Amino acid sequence: MTGNRNPLINGLLKLHITLCLIFIFTPIAGSFVFSLNSDRFPSLPLGSFSTEWYRLIWEDPLVWAGFFNTLLVGACVAAIATLLGFGGAYTDFRYKFFGKPVYLALALLPPTIPVVIMGLAMLAFLSRVSLSGNVISVIIAHGVMCSPFAMAIIRLRLSQMDPDLEAAAWNLGGNEWVTMRHVIIPFTKPAIYAALFITMAVSFDEFAVAWFVSGLNETLPVKVLGFLQGQVSPRINAIGSLAFVSSISFIVIAQILMRNPESKPS
């Protein structure tokens, strides 16, 4: 790794990064430490080491139900959002049409809408079409929120593609669908995988919209709020740690996939 040539600036930059990382990770690390602490309340000095809280959530059917909901939603959302995102990105890559900037702005808009407004709007809309309070409603809402992420990732990859590549495949005898299968998808494959994992991670952690639309089929983050409202239990630390480990794994996998796009997909 190359740093700044001035050792003072270099040192300060490194210090800055370190402080940022500490700022971000201290609460998470704290939560992790307290999840393994036997005391009822998170306070210093620490009590003894204990896996009691993990055992409690392991035995709690409500936590499991929430976890499975989250997983189901995440998997469906990843598939739907990546498909939509791919379509959006490919449209941008392939076609020139009137109002394209507007199309792009609208397609990439959802993450900029405040989640509370998004959640309310989703609830209002979905209840009108009788789809609220359902796992499907969470999937729809998260699909809307996540597809811009998938689109951005796949668009980036498509922008690295030689624009002649697709026409070359047509010229060599592949029609548009065959070319899609043999050229466009293989080329964007790393980005497609990355998009699957990122959208899954986003859906996994999303709370506000899920809270509005999930009804009785709560996802894990919504369940956590339920716990907090009832009683402060170190079980939350345990759930938080597990949720953190799973999301960060998705992100890490996505990063690895995006890092080496020229590697030959099998």
Partner 1 sequence: MLDTPIVHFDNVVKKFGSFTAVEKADFQIARGEFLAIMGSSGCGKTTTLRMLAGLEDPTEGNILLDGKKINGKPTWERDTPMVWQSLALFPFLTVQENVEFSLKMRKVPKGERRERARKWLDRLGILEFADRNISQLSGGQRQRVALARSLVTEPKILLLDEPLSALDAHLKVRMQSVLSGLQKDLGITFVYVTHSMSEAFSMADRVVIMSRGKIEQIGTPEEIYREPRNRFVAGFLGSSNVFDGRLKSSGNEVWQIETEHSSFNLKAPSEVQKTDGSPVAFAVSSENMSLATIGTPWAGNSIEATVVGGEFAGASATVFLETDQGQELKVQKGHDELKTVDIRAGQKLLVHWLPEHCHVLPGE
Stretch that binds partner 1, among 80-88, 139-147, 162-170, 235-243 (CB under 8 A): 162-170
Distance between CA 100 and CA 106 in Å, rounded? 10
Examine residue 262 and tell whether it contacts partner 1 (CB under 8 A).
yes
Q: Is 266 in the site for partner 1 (CB under 8 A)?
A: no
Q: Is 62 in the site for partner 1 (CB under 8 A)?
A: no
- Give the binding range for partner 1 (CB under 8 A) out of 16-24, 91-99, 118-126, 184-192: 184-192
CA distance 103 to 63: 41
Which region among 38-46, 180-188, 201-209, 237-245 touches partner 1 (by CB under 8 A)?
180-188
Q: Which of 15, 105, 116, 178 binds partner 1 (CB under 8 A)?
A: 178
β partners of residue 37: 49
Residue with tokens 């509005």: 212
Least distance to partner 1, CB of residue 27, Å = 42
Cα–Cα distance for residue pair 73/67, rounded to 1 Å? 10
Whether the link from the prior residue into 27 is cis, omega within 30° of 0, is: no
Q: Does 117 bind partner 1 (CB under 8 A)?
A: no
- Cα separation, 55 vs 73, in Å, equals 25
Decide: is 174 part of the binding site for partner 1 (CB under 8 A).
yes
Alpha carbons 110 and 142: distance in angstroms, whole number: 10
- Tell me, what amino acid is at 140? I
Please return the burial class of 52, using the count of CB atoms within 10 Å of its CB with bins 0-12, 13-18 and 19+: middle
CB closer to partner 1 out of 53 and 187 = 187
Residue from 183, 191, 236, 257 binding partner 1 (CB under 8 A): 183
Of 55 and 182, the one with the shorter C-beta distance to partner 1 is 182
Supply φ then ψ for residue 195, to 5 degrees.
-65, -40
* Binding-site ranges for partner 1 (CB under 8 A): 162, 164-165, 167-175, 178, 182-183, 186-187, 189, 262, 264-265
